[in-house]
Structure 1
């Protein structure tokens, strides 16, 4: 066979999707690689026939109390705390309420694979394992363990309440208000964590546990040049490679090649998000530098989050607890019916397209491209024991 004597082309010194930018000292440095665009997310929808009336009433009254038709009253860049006075666009439409389990960046082919993966999962086994975890975690509380054993089994559908009010990223400078699901059986959270981890292990949900990119092994001076970095990192034989790594590599190498653990799952339903407020004031520094990025609207939610609700006329009325432990109740005792893979970006629903008036009530909705029901009959029929 003839051997080509053509010179080997030089490799690019930087990724194709990066370009040099000038630093303050006049030197150039490459831009960091951009993260892939988020296209879909795995979630549990919260709006169904049992919850819609409760959520609609409580959210409408909350919005009426804290919405301002003339824009937000600001003091030193912060919105007044007595009534938030938020623009109507900051309040999330009823049809968008859900619990996010993880976000994904999927091509068309990967979306088909993720949808098939969702359909293949043995939800019955996950429910059973969640039941065991819930019982074990509450074993120290005999009364609660008794409640779990008497009122729920792994086949019982999830029934939750949506309660409380929390702020992100900080109470004193919030951009998001959200409510929390309350499951008296304790099964929902471990079920969601296991479901999310299944999607992470399959490579669909992005693992947000590690903030920094791992250093390539080729740049690690402690690895002999004859060692194959690909052999260490290849996902095809991950278990055997982990054993080789732990035996033959030093602790530094093991540390930088270890997959980060997923961050703790925060189950929450977003009620307010100022990222959707149009016409936000631009950061003055950015304006002077010719940049067009907008500064996100923040508000002080400390009083709102900490206050006990003495106004019993609100639909977000208090539970029958002492005044010091009162909480927002957005909806009580409604089922979680399904698991969905949804497209990013809620779609507006046109009232004229629905004669029943449901579109007008929901406002917007995320498009579900794959779905599994959580009804016991459906779970059992897919994976008979």
Structure 2
């Protein structure tokens, strides 16, 4: 037991470790070149020093060598996906979850959503949005836009099937389909371990510090109350990318993936990409 304030006792956290997640992977042979190019252009655009656009008078007062967004905060192409739910599975539970995935009747699900067609779903990955208040955020994401209006109902149906079978962990939040483009949890911090998280303006200046959050909140950074090591003021960036299209492509599969990306290295050991391991997947109708 853990003693809470006022002498009362409360049970220690027993939240299970997250092991897998259900998702729609966004990387295909068709989408890869588009997303590689879009993310590289984005990286070159915003991973600039504040010296690039901070007035000379201000440069004397602030650390202009700090990146606006640390390059490591920009997610690698191979990691892009749409999460439908997270899971904490034993090997036996994982086997049952894979069986559930393999039994999905995806054509019937699509027919129940739009009886006129079972054709594949093509999306445009569009815009840039903030997971938190835009003046103090740690996560930026793009949204999938489907002209036929089928992607969200399909994802809700898939989510419901896995919930009813007891695989997904309930978090009380409605499904928000998003592809994470920036997450400062992955950026190297210049703070000492005892320092509080920094808040950085859009020109690289420190706004304030805020108390650290729980390790669980930091591990994901997506919760509205999550406290990542670095917060950024992204209002200028959001305005610039509000109508941006990162790519347009057909979704190809539903997958169960392991938590945590795996680094992909070149022959010389250089990290060239990161991706999630798909333990099982089933094709979507095309």
Shorter-chain TM-score above 0.5: yes
Aligned residue in 2 for 1:341: 256
**1:1-385 paired onto structure 2 within 5 Å:** 19-21=1-3, 23=5, 25=6, 27-68=7-48, 85-132=68-115, 153-209=116-172, 263-279=173-189, 281=191, 282=193, 284=195, 296-307=229-240, 327-332=243-248, 334-352=249-267, 360=272, 363-376=273-286
**CA deviations over 1:358-382 (Å, ceiling 9, x no partner):** x83xx01100001101135xxxxxx
Verify the 8 A CA contact 1:68 1:88 in the aligned structure 2.
Answer: no
Give, in whole Å, the separation in 2 of the partners of 1:369 and 1:272: 25
- The offset of 1:31, in angstroms, is 3.6
Pick closer, same or farther for the CA change 1:348–1:69 going to 2, 3 Å. farther
Indicate the structure with greater strand content: 2
Indicate the structure with greater helix content: 1
- The offset of 1:22, in angstroms, is 5.4
Give, in whole Å, the separation in 1 of the partners of 2:13 and 2:77: 36
- The offset of 1:30, in angstroms, is 2.4
Structure 2: 5+ residue runs without aligned partners? 198-210, 219-227
Verify the 8 A CA contact 2:107 2:285 in the aligned structure 1.
Answer: no
- Pair member with larger Rg: 1
Aligned residue in 1 for 2:207: none
Verify the 8 A CA contact 1:95 1:364 in the aligned structure 2.
Answer: yes
List 4+ stretches of structure 1 deviating above 4 A: 282-286, 291-295
* Root-mean-square deviation over aligned CA pairs: 3.2
- The offset of 1:130, in angstroms, is 1.8
Pick closer, same or farther for the CA change 1:48–1:285 going to 2, 3 Å. closer
Verify the 8 A CA contact 2:121 2:250 in the aligned structure 1.
Answer: yes
Q: TM-score of the superposition, structure 2-length normalised? A: 0.78
Give, in whole Å, the separation in 2 of the partners of 1:180 and 1:364: 21
- Equivalenced residues, count: 250
Q: TM-score of the superposition, structure 1-length normalised? A: 0.59
